[in-house]
Structure 1
C-alpha cells in the first residue's frame, strides 16, 4: 500500500504550535476525525495515549510516529504535521520531535499500520527526505516530497527483489549444475604480458560468480602457459563461455556454443555483467569451424580495438625472446671484464661468448616471432608461416636489389634491417593477405579442401609476403635508419623529455593502450641495440614500477587515508612494484582515479626523466629490481625510482583526505 493512499491533503497540517505531547496528539486526532477515519474520537485518542504509555513512538532525529489499532477506527488512515518548535516525545536521543505522523488502524487481522510504519521508517532514515518535509511551505509540497521519495524507494525495493529472485534462481541452477558435476559458466582470461591482468580478471570472475551463486571455471593463458584448461566435457555441458582477453584466442573448440568476447579489463571491472550475459542467454553463438581467433561478441568490434588485439598477440609471444635474449646478452658483458675497451668486448672469453651467442640467437627471433603471431591472430594457423617469413625478411633487410647482385659479392651493398616497424607491417600484411587468400579459396571445389592448409596456403601466402617485403624493405630500412639515428642524436635534454613522456605513459592506464604503447616502443627499440634505445627502455621500466610502490608507501606512512583492507593489500604492492607489475595499482586507481592517476603519472614521469638524465640503461625489457645487475648506472636508477615513488606518494597522500576513524579502522 502506498503512503499517499492513506495520507490525504486534509490530513496534513504545517507549522503547528503545541506545548505538550498531549496537545500534539489532540491536533493529530482531530485531523484523523476530519478525514473521516475515526468514528469514536475519545476512544481512539485513549488508544493512542495507551500506546505511548507502553514506550515512546519517537524514533529520534526529530521524528515521531504514534499509532493505534482499535475498533474506534472506521478505515485505515495517516495524518501528519510539522511542529517547528518541537515537542518533547521522550525520544531515545533526547531531541524534541518536530515531524510527527499518526497512524489509525482498524481492529482487523490485516496489520495495515505495520506495513505503513515500516515504509515510513525506511524513508525517514534518509535525512534529506525528512528535511524536505520540514522545509515544505505548502501541503502540496509536503505530499509531493512523499510521492517522490516513495516512488524511488519502491523502485529500489523492486530491484532488490528482482536481484534476490535472480540469485535464488542462480543458486537453484547452481545446485542443479553441481549435481551434474560441470560448471555453468566457463571463461578464458589473457593479457599480452600474461602477468597481472590475466590472473586479476580470473580471480574477480571467480569471486563474483561465487557471490551470485553461479559455478564457474576460468582458464588462464598467462606467461607460464595455459592453466586450469577447459575440458571438452565442460564445454559441452556449460551454458556459455566468456573470453576476457587482449590477445587472440583460438575458438574452434567452442563452435556452436554461446560465447561472449571482450577485453581483459572487463573481467576485472564488470564481471557481474559478463556472467549475466551468459546466464540470461544473451551471448551470440560461436561459429569458428576453422579455428578462428576473431572476437565473437554481441556487437562489432572497432577497427582500432581489433588492430590492438592482433598487435598484443604478437607482443605477448615476442616478450620471452626479448627478456631471455636481452638479459643473457647483458650478462655476457657483465662477465667479460677481460675484453672491456676492445672490439671483442662481450665475446672475448668462452663464458661471455656463450651468453652472447645464446642471447643473440633469442634476440634474432624477436621480430620474426612478433610478425608471425600478429599474422596468426588475424588468419589463425595459415598466417603463421607467412608471418614468420615476412618478419625474418624484415629483420634481415633483403631487397630486390640485393637479389640482382646475389652472384657478385663485390657489387652487393650492406643489408639494412627494416627493424621493428617493418616487422609490424610484415605481420599485418601476412595476416590479411592470408585471410584474403583463404576467402578466395572458399570457391574451390570441395575435393581440394584437404590440400589447402598443407599446400596452397603456405605456398601462395609465403610467396606473396616475400614479394611484398623485398619490394618495400628499402623504405622500411630508410625509416629504421632515420629512427635509430634520431635516437642516437638526441641530446641529454631531449632524452630526458622522452624519458618523462614514456615514463608518464606507463601510469596513464596501468596496462591499457597508453601503457602498452610506451612499452612496445621501448621493447621495439631494443632491437636496434643502441645505447639510446636502452635508455628509453630503462625509463619505461622505472615509470611502470612507480605506481604500485607509491600506493604501498602511502598505505604504510599515511595510514589514516586508507581502510584496513587497503593497507593490507598495499603491502603486496611493494613486491609488485619492484617486479615491474604496474597492474598492482589498478584496484586503487579504479576506486579513486581522480587522485591516484594524476599522482602516479607525475611520479612516473619524474622517475623516467631522472633515469634518462642519469644515463641509466636497461637491455632487459622486464624484471624490475631483479635485473638491477644488468642495469647501466644502477645506483642512480634506484635513486630515480625512489624519488619518483616518493613524489607520487606525497601528492596522493595530500590529495586524499584522512578518513574517519570508523572507516580507517584506526583508533583516535
Structure 2
C-alpha cells in the first residue's frame, strides 16, 4: 500500500492556524473527522492525548507525529499540517515543530496499513524530504514529494557496510508503546549513523505489526553488545550474559552515535536474566542497586503518568472552587456558593478521589501486566478510604503487582485445561483477596504515618519551611524532568492530596525558573551565546511561563558545568521565597495559567519566580565565557 492512499488531499492542511500543542492536536483531529476517517472524534483525541502523556511525539528536527491505534478510527488515515512559524510541541530537542503528521490507525489495522505508516516514519528521517515538505505550497506538491520517496521495499536484514567491524555486528531492538512511529525512526537513526561510522548493525523493530528483523541466537551470541531502545516491554531473557544498553526509544532517535560507540566499547553491564538485573564483571554493588532502582522508578512513573489526568483535572477544579472563597463549597459557611460546591464535588470527591486507586492500579499493571490492575485498584481504593493517602497507594500498587507475579509463578504448572481461566478467575480472585487482606491490616499504621507527616509539616517553623522550599525548588532543576525532578513533583502532589499546598508552590516555582533564567541570560548576555542559542532563548520565555522545565535542557547539555549550578541555585531561591511569602498552590501544575488560584498573593509568587530567574541569568552570564 502506498502512503498516499492514507494521506489524501482531504486530510492535508497547508497552513495550520494553531499556535499551541493542544490546538494543533484539536485542528488535525478535526481534519480527520471532516474527512470521515473517525468513528468517535472525542475518543480518538483522548487516545492521542494518552499517547502524548507517555512521551512526546515531537521527535525533533521540526517534526511531530501524534498517533494512536484505537477503535475510534473508522478507516486508517494520515493527516498532515504545516506551520511555517513553528509550534512549541515539547519536542525532544526543545525546538519548535513545523511539520505535523497525525496517524490514525484502526485497532485491527492490517499489515499493509502498518507497513505504510512505518515507511512514513522512516521517510521523515531524511532531511531532504523535510525541507521539500516545508517548501511545498500546495497539497499536490506535498503528495508528489511523499509519493516520490515512498519505496515499498522489504526491510533490510542489516546495515551492511562492507567488512564487519573487528568487534562484530552490533545488535539493537527498538519499540514504542504504539509501535507505529518512534519504533521505526529509532531504527532508521541507528542504521543511518552506523552507516556513517562504517559499523555493521542489525535492528529488530517491535512494531504494531509484530517483530521484524528478529535477532537470531547466533547473532546475539556473536554481538559485542545489544542496544535496547524501548518504552515498552521487550523479550530480554535471550540477552542473558550479554552487554545490554537499555534506554528510552527517544534516545535511539537522538543519540544513535553515542549508543553505537558504547556498544562497540562494551560500555554496558551484563544482563543476568529473568531477574532483570544487570551486572558486569567489574560492576559494583552500588551500580547493581542503581539498576534495580531504575525498575522501581519505571513502575512508579507508569502509575504517576496515568494518575496525572485525574490530578490535574480534579485539582484545578478544586482550585477554581476556591475563587468564591476557601469555604465556598461548605453549605454552612457564609462564603457558600452552589456552583462552587458542584465544581468542588466533581474535582475533589470524584476525580481527585480516584488519584490513589489509579496510581496503585497502574503501578501494579506495570509490574504484573493486566492481571495486576484489578488488585492494584482495589488496594488503592482501600488506601484512599482508609486515609492512608499517597503512601498507601504506592504500597498497595507494589504489593498487588508483586503478589500477582508470585501467583502467576505458583500457578505455572496447573493443568493446561485451566490456562484459559487463569486471567479471568485465578489471578483476579487471588490477587484481590491477598492484596485486600494485607492492606486491611496495613491501613491503620499507614494512616497514622500519613497524619504524622502532615502534622510535622504543619508544625514546621518559618526557617524549616524555607529550607524545605529551597530543597524542593532545587530538586526540580538538577535533572530537569528526570528522576529527581519527578520525585519532587510526586511529593508535591502527595502534599496537595493531604491538604498542604505550600510545598507544591515551591516545586512549581522551581520548575519555571530554568527556562526563564536562561531566556533572560540570552537576552542580556548575548555575547555568551551562539545565534541559535539566542533564538532558542526566545522560545524559552514561553516554555518557562508554561512550566516546561525541559526547555533548559539544550543549554544544560551544551555547557553543564556552568548552566546546571546556575539553574539549581535560581530554582532553590525561588522555592525558598515562596515559603517566605507563604504561598500555596492547590492546582497540581505550574505556569501562569494557575496564578489566579494561588493561595496567598499571586504577585509575590510571580516575584519569587522572577527573582529565581534573575539569579540564574546573572550566574550564567558571569560563569559563561564570551563566544569568539
Structure 2: give runs of 5+ residues left out of the alignment. Answer: 1-148, 159-171, 217-225, 281-287
Q: Which residue matches 1:139?
A: none
Q: Which residue matches 2:14?
A: none
1:541 counterpart = 2:518: no
1:630 counterpart = 2:613: no
Q: 1: CA distance between counterparts of 2:254 and 2:580?
A: 37
Q: CA deviation at 1:500?
A: 0.8
Call closer, same or farther: CA 1:331–1:509 in 2, change over 3 Å.
same
1:542-594 deviations in Å (ceiling 9; x for gaps): 10111111111111111111111211222221122112121111222122211
Q: 2: CA distance between counterparts of 1:621 and 1:362?
A: 13
Note the 1:311-330 alignment, pairs <5 A.
Answer: 311-330=300-319
SS state at 2:153 partner? helix
Note the 1:78-227 alignment, pairs <5 A.
Answer: 179-180=153-154, 187-188=174-175
1:261 counterpart = 2:236: no
1:232 maps to which of 200, 209, 217 = 209
More moved, 570-579 vs 323-332: 570-579
Q: 2: CA distance between counterparts of 1:187 and 1:470?
A: 42
Call closer, same or farther: CA 1:627–1:212 in 2, change over 3 Å.
farther
1:373 counterpart = 2:377: no
Q: CA deviation at 1:271?
A: 2.9
1:504 counterpart = 2:474: yes
Call closer, same or farther: CA 1:338–1:264 in 2, change over 3 Å.
closer
Call closer, same or farther: CA 1:490–1:466 in 2, change over 3 Å.
same
Q: 2: CA distance between counterparts of 1:347 and 1:264?
A: 51
1:302 maps to which of 291, 295, 299 = 291
Q: 2: CA distance between counterparts of 1:631 and 1:200?
A: 38
SS state at 1:261 partner? strand
Call closer, same or farther: CA 1:518–1:592 in 2, change over 3 Å.
same
Q: Is the 8 A contact 1:376 1:384 kept in 2?
A: yes
Q: CA deviation at 1:217?
A: 11
Question: How many residues are treated as equivalent by the alignment?
Answer: 438
1:577 counterpart = 2:560: no
2:441 maps to which of 446, 450, 471 = 471
Q: 1: CA distance between counterparts of 2:428 and 2:515?
A: 46
1:517 counterpart = 2:487: yes
Call closer, same or farther: CA 1:208–1:251 in 2, change over 3 Å.
closer
Q: Is the 8 A contact 2:328 2:335 kept in 1?
A: no
Q: CA deviation at 1:379?
A: 0.9
Call closer, same or farther: CA 1:641–1:568 in 2, change over 3 Å.
same
TM-score (normalised: structure 2) = 0.61
Call closer, same or farther: CA 1:278–1:482 in 2, change over 3 Å.
same
SS state at 2:246 partner? strand
Q: Which residue matches 1:640?
A: 608
Q: CA deviation at 1:638?
A: 0.6
SS state at 2:588 partner? coil
Q: 1: CA distance between counterparts of 2:578 and 2:408?
A: 48
Q: Which residue matches 1:150?
A: none
Q: CA deviation at 1:495?
A: 1.6
Q: CA deviation at 1:180?
A: 2.3
Q: Is the 8 A contact 2:329 2:341 kept in 1?
A: no
2:584 maps to which of 595, 605, 617 = 617
Q: Which residue matches 1:349?
A: 337
Structure 1: give runs of 5+ residues left out of the alignment. Answer: 1-174, 191-198, 220-228, 398-416, 661-668
1:596 maps to which of 552, 557, 563 = 563
1:240-295 deviations in Å (ceiling 9; x for gaps): 996546xx72447x9989996325785587432446789999999x999xxx9x96
Note the 1:342-421 alignment, pairs <5 A.
Answer: 344=332, 348-360=336-348, 361-397=350-386, 417-421=387-391
Call closer, same or farther: CA 1:218–1:449 in 2, change over 3 Å.
closer
Q: Is the 8 A contact 2:190 2:253 kept in 1?
A: no
1:404-463 deviations in Å (ceiling 9; x for gaps): xxxxxxxxxxxxx11111111111111111111110011211111111111000001100
Q: Which residue matches 2:145?
A: none
Q: 2: CA distance between counterparts of 1:565 and 1:517?
A: 32
Q: Is the 8 A contact 1:202 1:218 kept in 2?
A: no
2:422 maps to which of 452, 460, 466 = 452
SS state at 1:180 partner? coil
Q: Which residue matches 1:331?
A: 320
What's the Cα RMSD here?
Answer: 4.2
Q: CA deviation at 1:312?
A: 1.2
Q: 2: CA distance between counterparts of 1:458 and 1:350?
A: 41
Q: Which residue matches 1:430?
A: 400
1:249 counterpart = 2:232: yes
Call closer, same or farther: CA 1:217–1:492 in 2, change over 3 Å.
farther
Q: 1: CA distance between counterparts of 2:340 and 2:326?
A: 10
Q: Is the 8 A contact 1:547 1:604 kept in 2?
A: yes
Q: Is the 8 A contact 2:228 2:245 kept in 1?
A: yes
SS state at 1:365 partner? helix
Q: 1: CA distance between counterparts of 2:489 and 2:250?
A: 18
Structure with higher Rg: it is 1
Q: Which residue matches 1:95?
A: none
Q: 1: CA distance between counterparts of 2:584 and 2:326?
A: 21
1:106-129 deviations in Å (ceiling 9; x for gaps): xxxxxxxxxxxxxxxxxxxxxxxx
